[in-house]
A and B are shown apart, each in its own frame.
Chain A
Amino acid sequence: MSGNDQLHVVTSDDISAGRIRFGKTLIWGSAAVLALVALAQVAQIMDWRDFGFSTWRPTLFAYSFWAICLCWAQVVIRGEHGKRTLFVLPAALFVVSLTVFPLLFGLVIAFSDWNLSSPDGRQLNGLANLRQMWTDPFYWNAMGNMVWYTAAIIVEYAVAFGLALLLAGQIRARKFFRVAFLLPLMLSPVAVSWMIGKSMLEARFGPLARLARLLGWENPSFFGSPEVAKITIMLMDAWTFIPFMMIMLLAGLQAIPKELTEASRVDGATGWKSFWEVTFPLMLPVSITAILIRIIFKLKLADIVINVTSGGPGGATDTVTSFIFREYRDRSNVGYGTMLAMVYLVIIVIAMTILMKLAARWTAPRT
C-alpha cells in the first residue's frame, strides 16, 4: 500500500493479537451502544415502551461516540497506517453523516404529501409530487430563468477578463485598485439587496434612478417589466461575483511566463493578435475552472431574488432556489418543495458532469 505514497515512511509495526482484539472491541462495542440507543428510541416512537426520551439527541451522542471510537480503533488496529487514515477519516465521516443521511431523509420527504400547516402530517404519496411538478408552469419558468442567469456568465467572464488584464498590466496604485475591485465580493447579498436593489434603484429617490432620468429614461423602473427586472437581477449578481472571476483570471495571467509574451512580441504579434493567439489559449484552463466554479455559485443564486423581488414580476426573476424557498415558507408545502429540490439536484449533477467532461476534453490536447 505504501508503495504509491508520495511520502515514504518506513513502518515496523508489531501489533499484538490482544491489541487488535481491543480495537475490534472498540468498534463493535460502540456500534452496539449506538444500535441499542437507536433501538430504544425507535421502540419509544413505535409506542412499544417508554424510555422517557424527549428528542433524538441520545442517538446523536451515541453516533458521535461510535465515530470517535472508529477513529481511535484505526490507530489501535493498524498502527502507522491507522495514523495516516486518521488524516482523512474525520472529514469523511463528517461529510458523509451530514450529507448522505439528510439526502436519504430528503428522498423520503420528496415522495410524500406533507404540508406543515395541515394536521394530517406526512403521508407517502408515491409519484404524485412528480406529476404535479411536471405540470407546474412556475417551476419550469424558474428553471428557464436559471438558463438565462447562467448564460449571463459569458458577459461576466468577458468583463472580469478585461479587468484582470488591466490589473495585470503596468499600472500605478495596483493594490488600491485590487482592493477596491475585490470589495463587492465581501458584502453580504442580503445587504446588497437593500443597498442596491431597494435604495439605489428606488424609482423616486434612488441615485441610479436619478441618473437614468438624467440620461433620458422618462420613468425609470428597474423591476417593472419582466425583461428589465431579469437584467437588473443579473447585473446585481454580476456586481458581487465579477471580482471572484477577476481574481482567478488575474492569478492565471500572472502565472504566464514573461518569456512567452515577449517572444510573441518579437515575432511581431501585437495587441489583439497577441491576446488571441498567445494569452487567451494559455488562459483557457484557468478560464474554464473559473467559469465552472462560477456556474456552481450561480446555480445557488437566491438571496438577492428573495429579498429584492420575491421572484416578481410574475415569476420573471425567480430562481429555482427562491421559488422553493417561497414554497417552504409561504405555503409550508414541504413535501412538494423537497421533490422540486431533488429534481433540481439531479439536473445539476447531470449538467455539471457533462460540462466537466466537455471541459476536460477541450483542454486536454492543448495543454
Chain B
Amino acid sequence: MTGPEMTETAIFKDGETDRGFRAKWFANRLVVYGVLILWTIICLFPIYWTITTSFKMAPNVMQGNLVPWVDYQPKWLGWRSLGLSPDTIGAESTVRDEFVKRFINSSIAALASSTLAVILGSLAAYGLSRFSYKFGYMKNDDISFFFLSQLILPPVVLALPFLVLYKELALLDTRIGLILLYTLTVLPIVSWIMRDQFAGIPTELEEAAMVDGLGVWGAFFTIILPIALPGMVAAFILSLVLTWNEYFFAALLTSTYANTLPVMVASQTGSQGISWWSMAALSAAAILPLVVIGVVLERFIIKGMAAGAVK
C-alpha cells in the first residue's frame, strides 16, 4: 500500500537522499500507527474486559484468562444472575425486574430531560442570535453569559436545597424531579451549541420567508428548524450521554421508585461479596446502550462538541 503512493507523491525518484527520505517516512508511519493502535487498546480494553468477564466463571477470573474460547469456555453465569441469559430470560426474575425498572427510569429521565433542554435551549439560542433583548439591565451578552454560567455551578451546591425543596413539593424520588434537575444541568451546553448553530445560518433566509408573509415563529419553524436539525440532534445526543450517566443527583434524590441505572451499579459496587461476573454483566448492560450510540452516532457527538470550539 505504501509503494504506489510513494511513486505518485515523490517527484524526484532517483538519488540517495530520496531513499533516505523514504526510510524516514516509513519509520514515521510505523510510530504513528503504533501510537494509534496503543491508544486504541487503552480505550477499548476496559470495555472488552468487562464484556468478556461477564461470561467467565470463578477459575477463569483467578487464572486471568483473557480470550474466550481460546483461554476459557464462555458461560452465561453473570447474565444468569441478572436473569438475562437464554435459559432464564423466560422465567421470573426479581433481579431482572429491578434491572428493567432502573433501565426504564434511566431512559425516561435521559430522554425527557434532553428533549426539554433541546426545546428550551434552542428557542433561547435562536432568540439571542437574532434579536436584541433588554431584561432590566441585562442585554443579550449578559443573558447568554447567564445561561452559560450555570455550567460552573457544581451539582453539590444544588443537591441539598433540592432535596429539601423536593421533599416539601413531594417530588422526591420521582422521575419528574430528576427530569427537571437534569434539564437544568444540560441546558447551558445545549444553548451554547445551538447559539453557534443559529449564528451560522444567514438571516436572509428568514427575511425572505417573512416577505412571503410568515411571522417570526412561522419562519423559525418552517425555515430555520429544518436547517438547524443536525445541530439539535448533536445537542440532544450530548445531553443524552450526560444525563444517562449522571450519578450524583440520582444517588441523593431517589431511593426506591425513581432509581436510575448508575445508582444500581454503584450500590452493587459497594457490596463486597458480589461476584465479578455478575458485576461485569451489570456494568456491560449499563454501558452498552451508550456504546452503541457512540458507534452509530459518532459524527453527531463530534459535531456537537466541536461547535463551541471553533468560532
Contacts and interface: CB of A to CB of B under 8 A. Distances in A.
Partners in one complex: yes
Nearest to A176: B40
Nearest to B268: A194
Interface stretch (A18-26, A218-226, A342-350): A342-350
B10 interface: no
Interface stretch (A85-93, A150-158, A261-269): A85-93
Contact of B46 (A163, A181, A196): A196
B68 interface: no
B40 A181 contact: yes
B63 to A, nearest CB: 8
A341 B160 contact: yes
B241 interface: yes
A188 B263 CA distance: 11
Nearest to A165: B32
Nearest to B47: A183
B95 interface: no
Contacts of A192: 46
A244 B308 CA distance: 12
Contacts of A303: 247-248, 262
B39 A181 contact: yes
A242 to B, nearest CB: 9
B232 interface: no
B154 A344 contact: yes
Contact of B265 (A92, A194, A299, A320): A194
A193 to B, nearest CB: 6
Contact of B160 (A95, A250, A285, A328): A328
Contacts of B45: 207
Nearest to A84: B131
B269 A190 contact: yes
Contacts of A186: 241, 287, 290-291, 293-294, 301
A207 B131 contact: no
Interface in B159-210: 159-165, 168-170, 180-181, 183-184, 187, 191, 203, 206-207, 210
Interface in B269-307: 269-270, 276, 279-280, 283, 286-287, 290-291, 293-295, 298, 301-302, 305-306
A250 B132 contact: no
A13 to B, nearest CB: 12
A289 interface: yes
Given A9-B216, A252-B309, A1 B265 contact: no
A109 B123 CA distance: 35
Interface in B128-148: 128-135, 143, 146-147
B158 A99 contact: yes
A345 B157 contact: yes
Nearest to B192: A293
B89 interface: no
Contacts of B210: 9
A187 interface: yes
Please report whether the interface of chain A is mostly helix, strand, loop or mixed according to DSSP: helix
A341 B127 contact: no
Interface size class of B (residues with CB under 8 A): 35 or more
Contact of A181 (B43, B131, B248): B43
A88 B265 contact: no
Interface string A260-295: 000000000000000000000000011001100100
B156 A341 contact: yes
Given A85-B133, A186-B294, A194-B279, A109 B302 contact: no
Contacts of B154: 299-300, 320-321, 341, 344-345, 348
A180 B137 CA distance: 47
A171 B35 CA distance: 12
A179 B146 contact: no
A210 B160 contact: no
Contacts of B143: 88, 92
A198 B220 CA distance: 50
Contacts of A54: 170
B20 to A, nearest CB: 15
A7 B131 contact: yes
Contact of B207 (A8, A90, A92, A324): A8
Nearest to B127: A87
Nearest to A61: B169
A94 B184 contact: yes
B39 A6 contact: no
Given A57-B169, A178-B298, A181-B40, A88 B286 contact: no
Given A183-B294, A247-B305, A255-B310, A1 B130 contact: no
A36 interface: no
A7 B203 CA distance: 6
A5 B130 contact: yes
A108 B62 CA distance: 53
A302 B302 contact: no
Pairs A-B, 5 closest by C-beta atoms:
A87-B127, A251-B306, A188-B245, A102-B161, A91-B124
Interface of A: 1-2, 4-9, 54-57, 60, 80, 83-88, 90-92, 94-95, 98-99, 101-103, 105-106, 109, 162-163, 166, 169, 171, 175, 177-196, 198-200, 204-205, 207, 210, 239, 243-244, 247-252, 255, 285-286, 289-290, 293, 296, 299-300, 302-303, 306-307, 320-321, 324-325, 328-329, 334, 337-338, 341-342, 344-345, 348-349, 352
15 contacts: A5-B132, A6-B129, A88-B133, A92-B135, A106-B161, A162-B35, A188-B261, A199-B53, A251-B306, A303-B248, A307-B269, A307-B270, A328-B252, A341-B156, A344-B156
Interface of B: 32-33, 35-36, 39-40, 42-47, 49-50, 53, 61-62, 64, 66, 120-121, 123-124, 126-135, 143, 146-147, 150-165, 168-170, 180-181, 183-184, 187, 191, 203, 206-207, 210, 215-217, 220, 241, 244-245, 247-248, 251-252, 261-263, 265-266, 268-270, 276, 279-280, 283, 286-287, 290-291, 293-295, 298, 301-302, 305-306, 308-311
